[in-house]
Amino acid sequence: MYRIGIGYDIHRLSGGRKLFIGGVEIPHSKGLVGHSDADVLLHALCDALLGAIAAGDIGEHFPDTDPQYQNISSAELLKKVAVLVKDMGFKIHNLDTVVIAQEPSLALFKNKIQQNLAQILGISPAQVSIKAKTNNGLGDIGSSDAIASFAVACVIAKEVTC
């Protein structure tokens, strides 16, 4: 049995913070603003995986009102979600993602992000797709004030019973 989930996240960019996308630090003059490290790709992946197993969303599991998640690495949140996926009797089949950023260019980092996600989740890099797009100068993303991400996760039941 296959199940699909979709995730989305967007965060504003601001000076004085490091930029993390897919758990990889990206050299840039601005970073994403949020309660955790604000990694839009990992947050979208958390939501996609949680959606695939019908387990709510990232805010329900890791509320931004809880001080234990202040400045936490989003990779730690994704690891917790991966354990929940496993505990619910599923395994990750594949992930498809899009990061939308006017800048910085992510072309040189896509492979490193793909490898990092595979390592975090204990899957093959061949199961992870990373796409990077710009917003063609439109809106907050196009003016380099924000970065967004979409993710789709496909999970499969470890044992199918009829």
State the average pLDDT over residues 90-98: 98
Q: Is the pLDDT of residue 32 over 80?
A: yes
State the average pLDDT over residues 148-157: 98
Kindly report whether the global pTM for this prediction surpasses the value 0.85: yes
Contact between 128 and 118 (Cβ < 8 Å): yes
Q: Among 141, 158, 159, which residue's Cα sits nearest to residue 149? A: 141
Q: Give 160's pLDDT tier (boundaries 50, 70, 90).
A: low
Q: Among 119, 138, 118, 142, which residue's Cα sits nearest to residue 129? A: 118
Contact between 60 and 77 (Cβ < 8 Å): no
CATH assignment, 2-157: 3.30.1330.50
Contact between 64 and 117 (Cβ < 8 Å): no
Find the helix or strand (DSSP H, E) in which 88 lies: none
Q: Is the pLDDT of residue 161 over 70?
A: no
Q: Is the pLDDT of residue 162 over 50?
A: no
* Domain definitions of the chain by residue range: 2-157
Q: Is the dihedral of CA 83, 89, 93, 97 positive or negative?
A: negative
